Amino acid sequence: MSVEAAVDRVARPSERQLAELHAAFRVFTEATTTLEEQYRELQAYADALRLELDDKKRALDASIERQRCLETQALRHGRLAAMGEMAATLAHEVRNPLGAMELCIKLLVDEVRAQPSALRLAEQVAGGVADLNHLVTNILDYTRLPEPRLATTDLGALVDEVLAAAAPALGDVTVERRGARAATWPVDRRLLAQALHNLVRNAAEAMAGSGTLVIALEPSPRWLRLVVADDGPGVPAASAESVFTPFFTTKERGTGLGLAVARAAVAAHGGTLALRPSARGATFVLTLPHAAPSGR
Ligand code: ADP
């Protein structure tokens, strides 16, 4: 055999070798395709994970923000609660000297009754002291939950007392009494007087010292109604419920506590206080059920 023939034989692959080479290529191609598919799947999985991560990051950011808001709110509530306690302590401390001042100023008014200019001044002081007393009592009543101590009370006489106490605020307002003049009912005298006082003062302020205030006592076997109506500008329909919300006020020097305190006092008796729609002025209706709430 020549040298060329021997080289040719070694260099040219046999049929079997070619078939093996083909098979190896096929396996390689298949493996490459599978790897490519797996790579694509992995990439899709990685994309989905990235999206999920973005979502989680957004949710985490939102919850960190919420947490920050809650912390700020808790701080604000804490400060408000501390201020509320301070207001209650202040109101409590102020009440005793105010009581003494009220007594003294009443004596002084009697003393100077014959001197018109001194009387006017004394009555101004008396009005200021009564305003402060009213404010302090509302703050104290608002900060503590009313716990009525019921005693059979003549509500006609209670109305008389409230009207006498509110006389300086009523000024030239004409007071018209309707319905029963007397009706005994189990109530907490102080709580109900304060509720009624708040309604009467509001009516007086709404009428700015002149107009007609109607107070009607309507007892029945199942309930007792006390209606306080004035002919002032009335309450706009849109504010009919908000007026009972604590701190809602349309007055320059109002606290927005009068009606909230009155409603809480009436509710503590198991009753309701509502604004009755009326063509003229404002009409508040206080309803007390016959049966006192149990356990009080
Ligand atoms: P304040 O008298 O300090 O404002 P209130 O809770 O007693 O607090 O009253 C809340 C608001 O309800 C008042 O500011 C006023 O706008 C309205 N209001 C209450 N009573 C009357 C009334 N008789 N007539 C018109 N508006 C009233």
pLDDT for residue 59 is more than 50? yes
**pLDDT band with cut points at 50, 70 and 90 for residue 110:** very high
* Nearest to 278, CA basis, from 229, 226, 245: 229
> pTM value?
0.71
Mean pLDDT of 131-144: 85
State in Å: Cα 249 to ligand 1 middle.
Answer: 6
Can you give the residue ranges of every domain in the chain?
Answer: 1-144, 151-289
In the structure, what pLDDT confidence band is assigned to residue 10 with cuts at 50, 70 and 90? Answer: low
Position 95 confidence tier, pLDDT thresholds 50, 70, 90: confident
Per-residue tokens: 198: 């708040």
- Share of residues in the chain with pLDDT > 90 (%): 68
Beta carbon of 255 within 6 Å of any ligand 1 atom: yes
Cα of 145 to ligand 1 centre, how many Å?
A: 22
The confidence score (pLDDT) of residue 80 equals: 81
Residue 254 Cβ contacting ligand 1 at under 6 Å: yes
* pLDDT of amino acid 7: 66
Convert the chain into a string of H (helix), E (strand) and C (coil): CCHHHHHHHHHCCCHHHHHHHHHHHHHHHHHHHHHHHHHHHHHHHHHHHHHHHHHHHHHHHHHHHHHHHHHHHHHHHHHHHHHHHHHHHHHHHHHHHHHHHHHHHHHHHHHCCCCHHHHHHHHHHHHHHHHHHHHHHHHHHHHCCCCCCCEEEEHHHHHHHHHHHCHHHHCCCEEEEEECCCCEEEECHHHHHHHHHHHHHHHHHHHCCCCEEEEEEEECCCEEEEEEEECCCCCCHHHCCHHHCCCCCCCCCCCCCHHHHHHHHHHHCCCEEEEECCCCCCEEEEEEECCCCCCC
How crowded is residue 122: how many other Cβ atoms within 10 Å of its Cβ? 20
- Which pLDDT band, with edges at 50, 70 and 90, does 294 fall under? very low
Cβ of 131 less than 6 Å from ligand 1: no
Least confident range from 6-10, 93-97, 107-111, 132-136: namely: 6-10
Q: How far is the CA of 190 from the centre of ligand 1 (A)?
A: 21
pLDDT tens readout for residues 168-181: 889 899 999 999 99
Give me ligand 1 centre to Cα 263, in Å: 13
Ligand 1 atom at shortest distance from the alpha carbon of 230 = 23
Q: Is the pLDDT higher at 78 or at 213? A: 213
For the CA atoms of the chain, what is the radius of gyration? 42
pLDDT score at 8: 67
- Closest listed residue to residue 198, CA positions, set 128, 123, 276, 273: 273
Pocket test for ligand 1, best of 139, 197, 202 (most atoms within 8 A of CB): 202
- In angstroms, what is the span from residue 3 Cα to ligand 1's centroid? 124
Distance between Cα 141 and ligand 1 center (Å): 17
What's the confidence (pLDDT) of residue 13? 77
Q: Which CATH superfamily is domain 151-289 in?
A: Histidine kinase-like ATPase, C-terminal domain (3.30.565.10)
Position 43 pLDDT exceeds 90: yes
* Ligand 1 nearest-atom number relative to CA 281: 24
What pLDDT is stored for residue 275 in this prediction?
97
Regarding the beta carbon of 278 and ligand 1, being less than 6 Å apart is answered: no
Q: How far apart are CA 126 and CA 177, in angstroms?
A: 26
